[in-house]
Amino acid sequence: MKKRLLSLLAVSAITVTLFAGCGSSGSGTGTADKESSNAKEYQVAMVTDTGGVNDQSFNQSSWEGLQNFEKNNKGAKVSYLESKQESDYATNLDKVVDSGNKLVWGIGFAMADAIAKAAKSNPDVNYAIVDNSYVDPTTGEDKTPANVTGVMFKAQEPSFIVGYIAAKTTKTGKVGF
């Protein structure tokens, strides 16, 4: 259930980002012109954190979401690069940009610095990062680069419900995690 929800969220976020950031600026009139330009507009890549694409968590559900996006959207091309260690982040981000991707997903908060640097170096590329916000926790100042979208999950909401259920069902008067 959790994987399906994360996949749905990833596909939704990708779709919204693509449609918001990829307007048609060409003056072609033929259907073939539109389809060939759309194929470039839908080229999306993700870079995993060190967990790899089969981590049974964010990387895997994000990849499954991208695969669903490709299956359901004609002309969409998706790909990924796995990071084996933290030093791979910047290199992998550069590789997917060099391959022509105009939307690049970084999966996991550990990639925050690499995404911010890549976004600064490539202002014409849109980036998204899962599980990170560039809001300063002490000042509340939003330092998100203009071409980056942070995807945060409101974990406190289902956690509250679980805590409430635990409190209502405890037989000892104590709960924990």
For domain 2-23+30-169, give the CATH number: 3.40.50.2300
pLDDT value, residue 70: 92
The burial of 74, by beta-carbon neighbours within 10 Å (0-12 exposed, 13-18 middle, 19 or more buried), is given as exposed
Encoding tokens for residue 132?
């990170």
The answer to whether residue 16 scores a pLDDT higher than 50 is no
Cβ contacts of residue 127 below 8 Å, gap of 6+?
Answer: 103, 104, 105, 106, 115, 118, 119, 145, 147, 148, 149
pLDDT at position 133, please?
Answer: 86
Distance between CA atoms of residues 93 and 47, nearest Å:
7
11: closest CA among 83, 101, 3, 109?
3
Contact 133, 155 (CB under 8 A): no
Q: Report pLDDT digits (tens) over 136-174.
A: 889 989 889 999 998 887 778 888 888 889 999 999 988
pLDDT in tens, 55-69: 988 889 999 999 999
85 or 19, higher pLDDT: 85
Please check the confidence at residue 24 and state whether its pLDDT lies above 50.
Answer: no
